[in-house]
Structure 1
């Protein structure tokens, strides 16, 4: 079976789907976004209706769902018939809603689908940009805080800068603020319970629906520390494990020439501003800045050439 690195073209969420989005995905990252209110570039996605497509090699034009019957476990490294992760870039012209995601146990029993944990790597942020990362109810129940109108004052806000990393396990109350561009790796689930939407009114004159009871059932109070990691020296550069979740791991690689990557797991490799090149067997594929390639689990030895940082998320 001829497996090879799959360079992906993203799908986009825009317009009414992401009323908080802007135009930085096009201006900063060169994405062919469809309009000036584009919030998400789904770089690696098998979500129905938002599937990214292969742009290189024998399977150019195919989606990841198209490749399941052909590659199966050779692609994902898993026995299950499904794509486990979703990778996207986000641009926030306005704040996202305050939200929370259920864990697998709650989601499977109440929604019939997996839950969602995720992580953010901040790529760019306006001066003073903030996000919501946890909630402090001061010992009271979250329902009491809501009933007394004290939700906004109980949210834990933190200023962000490029290079900051945040781990958002299921149950964490969170929201990206305005003026942030970030990389997000998550379980391949679209389950979101909206706790608060800042009183926004949509173009239809109505507020977006909230999911109070579900959010109360799955939310956890408390504040998590920012994620850091110790760099590991490797031939050709350094690797830092930034986030380790039961479903995925997120690494930053700092490349200085040529580095051989570990194999055996599906990996998403995202080039940052300088781009890079993938080399395997007798082949070479250039990744432009901010392109992502899916490295199948069954791919033989693969190396990366270039200089500067790139990001890798792996399926666990």
Structure 2
């Protein structure tokens, strides 16, 4: 049944309230967000491996690799590196640990020259500051075959041990005695690039961060992940290359494989990361205990393409890209049907957008599926939704177009504002709906939208996260002092002008339907829209709620209550404790699981939201 909930009215803005919305300061504390639990949010969740595994850090890591030569007789050691790794540092550390060995940098020896690479990949990278085209190149395309052969011949002819280092070491046509992967998380790569590191063999050290991310997203990370999948099963060791060289950690590849196998048989969390933004707020800083006194805009707490996994190996923590789990264990993680639809891609994204005591997000739209495929080579699009974890009394969401809007007039006003003319009066063209705690606004691709100031949003969406076409950014510049990129032409090609006030009210606002209830729990469907592939269910509970992945991956967040515990009815995994606002993943292979109040959550009314891929569930026998 459809609950008869009041639909928030369209906000009418009085004529004297036409200041840019980001200039409006929410009065504090009278207009503070509704009171909620102060989270014991875990910023470094780990997956604890059973005893029997070992890790070596710092000098011990390099000594362990040296032992492969001195003790185990390895003559050829290949250390393949993810792009962004400190190759020079790794090379120097190995040279110091093995003073009698020949150390070869495969990139210097055999990779194409930077200008050759630019000529080859330029059409994929484009001149745009943000967007490129998804590359289908292989790493071998970036190397000179003849020079690879010549380098391999020198390696084979060498009198003593040889260590080959660099992205592409495993391309050498030699039989290694020991194969190592130096792995690196994408978030760490981005931090290094912001500090001045260039892209792989690119003359872009001084380029702005957006262009560097574009190169990684559309080219380097795609090529690197294909290469990683090709060599992963043959690895002997994995080197955690996220810390500085003197703190890198080495583990046997079987330890990593065991950690990934364990992860897909239990609930787990990826490592969240937080980032400032020009529109950012202070809710996350205050509730999560984040460092500094600045404002954070984003938290990415379930974007496996970007996030890390932490494996606890004895007393040592090993950081791996969470994407390794998607690439190496896709069937158990995603389920057969979801894997059949998306391949080794994690299709669901949870992240936070914090505008409490901050500013409006840019007015934006996301591409339709056909457009994102034709234009950028992406197989599915950035459908999304806003779930309100918290909000000030006057918070609003910009969503859909006002009835009667003239497309030409709106586009002309946007173009004029972008070129330095009068500011764009968003409320003249776009609906604004009051936003309250636990409201869920649905945003299928093609819908004009923005989160207004004063909101703490849990964004539940499809994973393609780069494809935001900004139309108006309230006249701001970014934290780097540069104007934030506007893509009005892309936006105009995707805006669905028929999504007016009536359509938006009926389809995207207040769509809550109770679907089941039991002793101490109620289940509701809160979205998403029928055009989107994600199904979202909310459970209110004071007792135990039974869940089942039914053959697909579930992503959940504890949106109300201090603490809950996730348990296996048959003891297949250890009890897994989650805290307020933490996102956690339940792999398809888990099957049945329960969630109930725990610790300080006992006696409270708790709530989770759960997202899964619609139409991939497998019916279980009664």
With normalisation by structure 2, the TM-score equals: 0.47
Kept in 2, the 8 Å contact 1:25–1:33? The answer is no
| Structure of larger gyration radius | 2
**Structure 1 residue 155 and structure 2 residue 441: aligned?**
no
Q: Answer yes or no: is 1:104 the counterpart of 2:369.
A: yes
Deviations 1:170-195 (A, max 9, x none): 00000111110011111111201011
State how far apart, in whole Å, the 2-side matches of 1:252 and 1:63 are.
Answer: 29
Consecutive unaligned residues of structure 1, counting only runs of 5 or more, are none
Aligned to 2:127: none
- Contiguous gaps of at least 5 residues in structure 2: 1-260, 417-423, 598-604, 615-622
Preserved contact between residue 6 and residue 56 of structure 1 (Cα < 8 Å):
no
Query: Is 1:249 the equivalent of 2:531?
Result: no
Distance 1:33 1:76, change over 3 A: farther
Please report how far the alpha carbon of residue 34 of structure 1 lies from its aligned counterpart in structure 2 after TM superposition. 6.9
Picking from 267, 274, 282, the partner of 1:5 is 267
Report the Cα distance in structure 2 between the residues aligned to 1:208 and 1:130, rounded to whole angstroms.
Answer: 23
Question: How far did residue 11 of structure 1 move?
Answer: 1.9
After superposition, the Cα gap between the structure-2 partners of 1:74 and 1:247, relative to the gap in structure 1 and judged at 3 Å, is: same
Using the TM superposition, give the Cα deviation of residue 200 of structure 1 relative to its aligned residue in structure 2, in angstroms.
1.4
Alignment of 1:165-180 (within 5 A): 165-180=440-455
1-structure distance, mates of 2:406, 2:446: 17
Describe the superposition over 1:185-216 as per-residue Cα deviations: whole angstroms up to 9, x where unpaired.
Answer: 11111201011111113355543121011100
| 1:227–1:243 CA contact under 8 A, matched in 2 | no
- Specify the alignment match of 1:311 in structure 2: 609
* Paired residues for 1:25-104 under 5 Å: 25-28=284-287, 30=288, 32=290, 36-47=294-305, 50-54=306-310, 61-77=319-335, 78-79=339-340, 80-92=343-355, 93-104=358-369
> Does structure 1 conserve the Cα–Cα contact (< 8 Å) formed by 2:384 and 2:459?
yes
Deviates more, 1:199-208 or 1:276-285: 199-208
- CA 203–72 in structure 1, closer or farther in 2 if over 3 Å, else same: closer
**Bigger RCO of structures 1 and 2 (CA < 8 A, at least 6 apart):** 1
**What CA distance in whole angstroms lies between the structure 1 residues aligned with 2:289 and 2:370?**
36
RMSD (Å) for aligned C-alpha atoms: 2.4
Deviations 1:231-289 (A, max 9, x none): 22135411101003442111110112111102222111212332200001322111122
Are 1:274 and 2:562 an aligned pair?
Answer: yes
1:279-294 equivalences in 2 (<5 Å): 279-280=567-568, 281-282=570-571, 283-294=574-585
Secondary structure, counterpart of 2:279 in structure 1? coil
Shift in Å at residue 311 of structure 1? Answer: 1.4
Name whichever structure is richer in helix by fraction.
Answer: 2
State the distance in 2 between where 1:200 and 1:135 align. Answer: 23
Change (3 A) 1:31 1:72: farther
In the superposition, relative to structure 1, how do residues 178 and 139 fare at CA in structure 2: closer, same or farther (>3 Å)? closer
Q: 2:569 aligned with 1:265, yes or no?
A: no
* CA contact 2:348–2:555 (8 Å) conserved in 1: no
Correspondence for 2:469: 193
Q: How does 1:227-246 map to 2 (within 5 A)?
A: 227-231=510-514, 232-245=516-529, 246=532
- For 1:13 and 1:87, the matched residues in 2 are separated by 15
What number of residue pairs does the alignment pair up? 309
